[in-house]
């Protein structure tokens, strides 16, 4: 097995602000639906399913997204990540596989008071 190289992260696109359009609050999990215009991915719709850790201050999540670049082009994305809540904000980090073969590292801050997810996407592949 070869040596790994240092990880250098470059932005995939400009920072995006996604709007929370709906939230489903549950005993075992919370589900959040979002949408935004996101540079490289066009009009994006996404769903995040949050699972809780023992003290409910964070946990893991899965995400699905669809980006419509134009009327003939759609990309799909699937992500897995970890989150931590501080007050009304949740801090998210995930790895995303996109149907065009690219991969991203997403870092975001979800603010339930503002109904936003501010998202930075970095190139992994």
CATH of the domain at 59: 2.40.128
Residues of the chain predicted below pLDDT 70: 1
82 occurs within a structural domain: yes
5-11 CB contacts, 8 Å cutoff, 24+ apart: 9/105, 9/122, 9/123, 10/122, 10/123, 11/120, 11/121, 11/122, 11/123
Cβ(21)–Cβ(28) below 8 Å: no
Boundaries of domain holding 30: 16-123
Total domains in the chain come to 1
3 occurs within a structural domain: no
Backbone CA torsion sign across 78, 82, 85, 91: negative
4 occurs within a structural domain: no
Residue 73: how many CA atoms within 13 Å on its side-chain side?
A: 8
75 occurs within a structural domain: yes
pLDDT value of residue 1:
57
105 occurs within a structural domain: yes
Helix (H, G, I), strand (E, B) or coil at 104: strand
pLDDT value of residue 3:
80
94 occurs within a structural domain: yes
Helix (H, G, I), strand (E, B) or coil at 39: helix
50-54 CB contacts, 8 Å cutoff, 24+ apart: 50/83, 50/90, 52/28
78 occurs within a structural domain: yes
């Amino acid at each position: 097995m070869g040596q790994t190289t240092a990880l250098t992260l470059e932005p995939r696109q400009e920072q995006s602000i996604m709007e929370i359009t709906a939230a489903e609050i549950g005993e075992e999990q919370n589900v959040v639906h979002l949408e935004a215009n996101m540079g490289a991915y066009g009009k994006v719709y996404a769903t995040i399913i949050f699972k809780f850790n023992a003290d409910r201050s964070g946990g893991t999540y899965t995400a699905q997204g669809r980006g419509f670049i134009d009327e003939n082009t759609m990309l799909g994305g699937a992500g897995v990540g970890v989150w931590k809540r501080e007050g009304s904000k949740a801090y998210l980090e995930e790895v995303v596989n996109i149907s065009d073969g690219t991969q991203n590292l997403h870092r975001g801050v979800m603010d339930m008071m503002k109904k936003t997810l501010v998202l930075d996407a970095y190139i992994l592949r």
